[in-house]
Structure formats: structure tokens, C-alpha cells
Amino acid sequence: MSADSARALQLLKLMSALPAPRDAAKLAELTRIAAKMEGDYGAGSYCVGEGEQRRCRQLGELEQVLASSRDYNEQLDAWQGWHSTARPMRKDYQRFVELANEGARGFGFADVGVLWRSGYDMPPAQLASETDRLWEQVKPLYVQLQCYARGKLDTQYGKDKGEVPGGLLPAHLMGNMWQQDWSNLWDLLQPYPGAGDLDITSALEKQYQGNLTAVLARNTGGVGGATARFNAEHEAQLRTAKQMTERAQEFYTSLGMPKLPDTYWQRSQFIKPLDRDVVCHASAWDMNMGGEANQNIGADVRTKMCIQPTEEDFTTIYHELGHLYYDLAYKPLPPLFQNGANDGFHEAIGDTIVLAMTPKYLQSIGMVGEQRTGREALINWQMRMALSKVAFLPFGLMIDRWRWGVFDGSITPEHYNQAWWELKAKYQGVAPVSARGEDFFDPGAKYHVPGNTPYTRYFLAHILQFQFYKSLCQAAGHQGPLYECSFYRNKDAGQKFWSMLQRGSSQPWQTTLKELTGNDKLDAGPMLEYFAPMSEWLKQQNQGQMCGWQAAAAAPASTTTAPAAPR
């Protein structure tokens, strides 16, 4: 058997994150449970009140409370409300694990976690060691960021509310339902207010308002009832979402990559539909499903999003298009090689582009005004990036640490929630402000758990993207500090990137990485180089503080009866 054939067979074996049991009845049961959990997540709603006073809010509305409110109790209610929606999944998830593990054993793996860890061209145990090594590289930077954030929360809410005993961050105060991205705390964490104004959200909101005015003027002459305005708002939202996506596409085409096919614009979901519940978590889809594109139709790639005119969604579009351009690049390969070099590569492509969205780039596309230069503006920019890139790292690690334990049985169903919060305290330095007993199922409040999407890929992607970025900056001939580089409109960088994308999964990822970067090892060095100015600044700001935290001080598990689960 040729090396290519052997590799293709191994990839086929590892292709599914949800291995099927051989028994037909159990397969049907597993399929039903998986669909039910994902459906329950998408329909999740937190309701309060009775009769005409009853008010229900879905995830997007509750996330907005965490993002914009600075009322301690209002944020706590939104956070607890969403987490309560996952409680009914607990029994389903336990059975889901049993059935999926049976399927994994049928493929020759001890459990699903071992199956997942086997897809990295190295022994499963080595992947765990590699991620531990990378975490130790970046942990000192995260500890400084956590320390700085804790001090700012103490200032905002008082020390009794701004932190949980032991130096832990309150889970509901981090501007994000899962504390994986702290960008929404910019108003509290901005180092130098006004230095280097980069209010992308305001620019996008202005664009939306302009579209709304134009639609209203066209449809009603500027007047009309509530229904006319509602329809106009929906149309303006769609128009703005497509404009944001066109802007993201233009970055890729500026590198010499092709435009997305016409079918992309016809078949993608850009905003939340009015007639049904959907999972709004952003995703990218290759609808050719490992086959060759029909020469008469072309490739069928799509995104599924509920785009709002915000900075977060703007950068998410750039990320999702990275998946699609990877799909397009490796489409000529045999079907089993039509995938990323590893799943971390797939997640890193678009984020590499996001790193190149420097203030100078944003100014060039009219998203922000003329930028001040100087140390204060630099530290502000680096902090903005760190609140998403650095704050994410421990979260990207802990989700699969929890699932690996669940799959191998070291975390039993009786301790699902306790283990979840122990890991969040250990890695993220965050904790709930009240006890979260085993009558809750807080892991199910994160899409990737009921959706059964492996998560280590996102941690690896946050390391890889800086390695990719540095290599492309070198290809573009960049001179100067790494953090100043944008390879926008540079065809040399684009060709080097495209060549890597075309490799797909046809060879070990280490070989593909070396072809691009000259290094076949995962390395957080480029990330640390990028954030070096902010790292030194944080150390200065944190002088005299007791940085670090005591994970054992997190709120203990409790058997206290929780409020009734919302419908």
C-alpha cells in the first residue's frame, strides 16, 4: 500500500467526531440524542414572569446584557438565566457519552477522547503534553492580564464584588457568557482612554443607520407604520451584513485569492431569519462534502451567521471566510485530503488575517479615522487584541480537558459540574459567585458541548495564527516590529499562504507548517513577540499586586435546589 493510501485510510478512520455504534438501534438513539441536544441549545430561552408579564430572552439578548450592562445583578441574572437552559441536557449527555464511547471502541479506540487526540500525526498522549507545554509558554502573560482585569473589576464593583475569594474573576462580569473573550470590557480595561480611537462598532452602526434611512426613503418616502419600519430594519440589517462580508472578502482577494462563488451570496445565512429558531453560532460550510466541485456550478461554500453591526461580528466574518478559502484551495485534492493539515490549521487561517487588520488597515478601508501614533495608542491596540487572543487561551484548553475526563471516566456524571468549575478555576482563574451544584449542567451552556465539536483546535489555532502571521509578514518584506505588520494587498504573502492551503491534509501537518514557517514545531514565541510591549506594560501596572489565584477557593459545589428550568 502506498503512503498516500495508508494516510487516506487513517484519515477516513478519524473523520467523524461522533463515532457510530455498530448496533442499529443504538446508532438511531445516538443520532436522536445528538439532534435533540443541538436543537435544545438553539431553542434555549430564559423566561421570567407569568401571563402578559412573561418575558423570554434567547442567547443573543442575554449576551447583550453581559456585553453592555454594568449592573452587577442584571448581569448575574442574564448569566444564570442562560446557564439554566442547559439543565435538561444533563441526562441526555450522559447517555450520549456512553453511546459515542461504544462507537469509538468499535473503531479500536479506548474512548472518544483518544479518538479525537489521534488526529494530529502524533501519539494521543503527546498531544496532551504539547498543549501543556504551550500553555506553560503563554501562562505568565495570561496571569498578568487576569491580574490587571481583576484590579479594574475591583475598582468598578468594589473588592467584595469585583473578585471571588482566592483572586478569581466573577464569571458573570467578564462581558462574555463563557469568559472566553473580554473585548466587551473595553470600557473598563482600556489603558489610555481616547488614545488611538478604534471604535469599529460605531462605524458599523452608522453604516446600518445609513442603510435603514435609504430603505425607508425608498419604501415609504420616510413615513410608514410599525410593520413598514420592521421590514425596513430587517432589509437594512441584511444589506449591512452583506457589506461587511464583502469587505472581508476584499482582504482575501487583495492577496490574489479568487472571489467567493455567486452561490455563496445566494445560499448563505447572513442574519437571523424571522420565521424559525436557528443556532446563531457562526459556522462555515463546504457543501461539496469532500467531492469535486461540479464544473457547471462551481464550489458550493456557505456561512451561517446572525450578523450584527459590531466589531466582534466584523472580525468573525474574516475568520469564517478563512475556512471557505481553505475549502476552495484544497478542492482539487482527492476527497480524503480535502481538509485542514489539522483542525487547528483550519481555525487559524481567518484569524491570521484578523491579525493583519492593523489600525493602518482599518483606516485605509474607512473603518476608523486617522490614527495617532505613540506608545499609548500602541498599548491600547495591543490590549484590544489581547482581550480576545490572550484571554481565550485557557478556555480553549479547559473544555476538552473536561471532555477527555468525561469520555475516559475520570470525571463521572455525579461530578460533571464540579469538575467543570474546577477546571475553569485552574486554567482561567474564574468562578461563579454562587454555588453551582450537580442539578445544573453548565458545560451544556456552551454550544460546542451539545454540538459535540472538539475544542482543542481553537487553542492550537491561537498559537498557529501567530506563527503563520510572522511567516507571511516576512514574505511580504515587512521591516519593523511584528505587531505593525499588515500584508494586505501583498501578492507574495498571498501566494505563500495559498500554497499552504492547497496542501490540505495530504501530508503531516508538521511538514506543511515547516514549508510555511521553516519550523515543524508548535511555538508560542511569535505570540509573545507580538505582545511584548503590552507584557512589559502589564508588569508595570501590576506592581505591588498579588497576581495569580487559588483555584481551590472557587465556589464549592452544592446540592441546593436550582430554580425551575425555563421553557
- Angle subtended by helix axes 200-220 and 311-329, to nearest 10: 90
Q: Is 319 annotated as a binding residue?
A: yes
Which of helix, strand or coil describes residue 125?
helix
Residues forming beta bridges with residue 294, ordered by sequence position: 298
**What residue type is assigned to position 354 of the chain?**
V
- From residue 69, give the alpha-carbon distance in Å to each of 48, 76, 106, 294, 346: 19, 10, 49, 49, 34
Which residue, 362, 369, 389, is CA-closest to 488? 362
What backbone torsions phi and psi does residue 285 show, to the nearest 5 degrees?
A: -135, 130
CA dist 114 and 128 (Å) reads 10
Question: 302: part of which helix (H) or strand (E)?
Answer: strand 301-304
Q: What is the 8-class DSSP label of residue 180?
A: S
Q: Is 38 annotated as a binding residue?
A: no
Which of the following is catalytic: 234, 415, 448, 478? 448
What backbone torsions phi and psi does residue 481 show, to the nearest 5 degrees?
A: -60, 145
Question: 303: part of which helix (H) or strand (E)?
Answer: strand 301-304
Which residue, 280, 388, 259, is CA-closest to 324? 259
CA dist 351 and 371 (Å) reads 23
- From residue 383, give the alpha-carbon distance in Å to each of 183, 194, 471, 541: 9, 13, 23, 13
Q: Is 462 annotated as a binding residue?
A: no
What backbone torsions phi and psi does residue 539 show, to the nearest 5 degrees?
A: -60, -40
- In the block, residue with C-alpha cell 510572522: 470
Counting other chains too, the contacts that 170-173 makes at CB distance below 8 Å and 24 or more residues apart are 170/430, 170/431, 170/432, 170/433, 171/79, 171/424, 171/430, 171/431, 171/432, 171/433, 172/66, 172/75, 172/76, 172/78, 172/79, 172/80, 172/432, 172/433, 173/72, 173/75
Which of the following is catalytic: 320, 346, 422, 462? 320
Active site residue 478: no
Give per-residue burial for 138-171: e unless 16+ CB within 10 Å, then b: beebbbbbbbbbbbbbeebbeeebbbbebbbbbb
**What residue type is assigned to position 6 of the chain?**
A
Residue 35: Cβ-neighbour burial (10 angstroms; 0-12, 13-18, 19+): exposed
Active site residue 320: yes
CA dist 335 and 338 (Å) reads 5
Cell numbers for 29: 438513539
CA dist 5 and 230 (Å) reads 56
Pick out the residues of the known binding site for chloride: 120, 457
**Residue set of the binding site:** 120, 319, 323, 347, 457
Catalytically annotated residues: 320, 448
Question: Binding site membership for Zn(2+): which residues?
Answer: 319, 323, 347
